[in-house]
């Protein structure tokens, strides 16, 4: 069980809702994943409705509500503090939730978070009563400032959004986990395969958030289940105690007391 802002959940997989081939496949993938939190981009869906597709937009909201999951709106695409704060406030009114996945993007090519803007926006939103899930990097200084700003969850990237590169800097992610042992940590972005998600969980991360790896799979529903299984396996391995790597071989069969026979 994982806990975010006092809410206890059984699933450690958070799913995005963009780019699925059809609403039906999205619905089936969420059910197969057993995810209890889905993220929704307010900017993307608002743009869809403004482009004379109001009926499609309403159908999307109805589908999300029918899934009986917790919605985590996000400020995807926002490049300034003002833009992110305004989007978050709109999302609170639309979804009637204090939760917000906070993104303030610094670079169009890498979609790397703007850490300075992220901290500033987190301060503003936390004071306004939001419960902020900040999309950040592995930078420990920024993490400290986000916690000081009122965040009770940190979401460091594994790799650039949609890159499928997995965990680009496992050393830094392990360091962050060890540095903040009591803070819920979610690897967000860059996950491309179930093995990537399992590795994050083996490190002791509390959850994984992903979108593209499932939505763009040949069979999103089967892939969603594969990720759910991988996250469960990784978490079980962490709790059991993953063996530390060694530089030299170590025999699995003890040699002490082994009889030796001399053949003529």
Catalytic residue among 34, 79, 98, 101: 101
Residues 202 and 238: beta-carbon distance below 8 Å: yes
DSSP structural state of residue 244: P
CA distance 237 to 215: 27
CA distance 133 to 137: 13
262 catalytic residue (yes or no)? no
Containing 133, the helix (H) or strand (E) segment is strand 131-136
CA distance 230 to 195: 7
CA distance 146 to 169: 20
Residues 152 and 184: beta-carbon distance below 8 Å: yes
Pick from 93, 88, 186: nearest CA to 136: 186
Let me know the angle formed at the C-alpha of 22 by 36 and 164, rounded to the nearest 5 degrees.
Answer: 65
Task: Print burial letters for 39-66: b (CB count within 10 Å at least 16), e (below 16).
Answer: bbbbbebeeeeeeeeeeebeebeeebee
Residues 138 and 173: beta-carbon distance below 8 Å: yes
CA distance 56 to 145: 40
Active site residues: 101
């Amino acid at each position: 069980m994982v806990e975010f802002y006092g809410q206890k959940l059984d699933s450690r997989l958070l799913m995005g809702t963009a780019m699925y081939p059809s609403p039906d496949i999205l619905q089936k993938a969420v059910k197969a994943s057993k995810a209890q939190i889905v993220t929704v981009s307010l900017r993307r869906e608002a743009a869809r409705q403004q482009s004379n597709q109001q009926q499609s937009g309403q159908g999307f909201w109805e589908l999300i509500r029918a899934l009986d999951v917790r919605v985590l709106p996000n400020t995807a695409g926002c490049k300034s503090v003002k833009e992110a704060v305004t989007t978050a406030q709109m999302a609170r009114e639309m979804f009637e939730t204090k939760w917000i996945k906070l993104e303030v993007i610094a670079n169009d090519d890498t979609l790397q978070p703007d850490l300075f803007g992220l901290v500033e926006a987190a301060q503003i939103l936390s004071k306004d009563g939001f419960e902020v899930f900040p999309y950040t990097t592995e930078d420990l200084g920024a993490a400290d400032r986000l916690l000081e700003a009122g965040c009770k969850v940190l979401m460091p990237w594994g790799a650039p959004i949609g890159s499928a590169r997995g965990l680009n800097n496992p050393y830094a992610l392990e360091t962050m986990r060890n540095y903040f042992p009591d803070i819920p940590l979610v690897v967000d972005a860059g996950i491309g395969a179930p093995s990537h998600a399992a590795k994050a969980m083996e490190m002791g991360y509390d959850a994984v958030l992903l979108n593209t790896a499932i939505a763009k799979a040949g069979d999103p529903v089967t892939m969603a289940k594969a990720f759910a299984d991988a996250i469960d396996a990784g978490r079980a391995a962490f709790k059991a105690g993953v063996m530390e790597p060694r530089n030299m071989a170590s025999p699995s069969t003890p040699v002490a007391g082994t009889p030796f026979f001399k053949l003529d």
